[in-house]
Amino acid sequence: MNILSENTAFGGMQGVFSHDSKACNCEMTFAVFVPPQAVDGPCPVLWYLSGLTCSHANVMEKGEYRRLAAELGIIIVCPDTSPRGKEIPDELTNWQLGKGAGFYVDATVSPWQLNFQMYTYITEELPALIGSHFRADMERQGIFGHSMGGHGAMTIALRNPDRFKSCSAFAPIVSPSTSDWAIGAFKQYLGDDKAAWRAYDACALVEDGARFPEFLIDQGKADGFLEDGLKPWLFEEAIKGTDIALTLRMHERYDHSYYFISTFMEDHLRWHAARL
């Protein structure tokens, strides 16, 4: 593991690191904030998954999480959104596919399958690294994210309910199988058989029997992607008749930006802390 940067913030350490990923067959970068409480013992871990076109840096620079994470004693892990490098497949004119758009799936179709194994990377390889190198209590993990990352957080939680104690999302893509934002990428990564898509679709996972105790979702009503890409009401409909609890908060005037995320970041951190 290579140290790219380390900075003191609110008594803790904000670091950026890289390592050779076996899952993604390339060098991957991630950020970790370790609170000052880690000096005294292991701290719970909260994963933040970013959205399309983003990297680890967006939330690290705009998310405004460090002050409260230091107060609450939570490690924040911010992975990248896809493999990167000169040899990595990409579509330069399509921001919804390739670099910056891994969708947290394990691709099965050429040329993507060699590198785009983001589900395995997030659920297996990177957690092993975090558990080995940071003072992390891996028995207390939560996960949240934004947009594509909200989709990733929800599907990963639904598929791993014994691992995660909490899950929330900012403006998530709850039904990528029906979302204009995701259909093209799913076809490229997973092929035309929509049955394979269901493992990475929160609504479909619930329909197929996956369960997680509760979710918190914040969504801006002025989000330009609300009607075509996000559609949180579909998840609200999917969980009817289940024991899944949902707090869905719709906010007037808020859009899809990090101004929205930073506004409600404290709510999410406190919500996770109460469950971790």
Which residue, chain included where needed, has tokens 């785009």?
116
Residues of the chain with pLDDT under 50: none
Strands 43-49 and 136-146: parallel
Strands 164-170 and 214-220: parallel
Residues assigned a catalytic role: 147, 223, 256
Structure confidence at residue 31 (pLDDT): 98
Integer CA distances (angstroms), 254 to 81, 222, 227, 247, 271, in order: 24, 5, 14, 17, 20
DSSP one-letter string for 117-182:
BHHHIIIIIHHHHHHHHS-EEEEEEEEEEETHHHHHHHHHHHH-TTTEEEEEEES--S-GGG-TTT
Model pTM score: 0.97
Sorted by where each starts, the structural domains of the chain and their CATH numbers stand as 2-275 (3.40.50.1820)
| C-alpha–C-alpha distance, residues 202 and 208, integer Å | 10
- The DSSP call for residue 148 is H
Which residue, chain included where needed, has tokens 């207390």?
140
Assigned token pair, 22: 């076996």
User: Using only C-alpha atoms, what is the Rg of the chain?
Assistant: 17
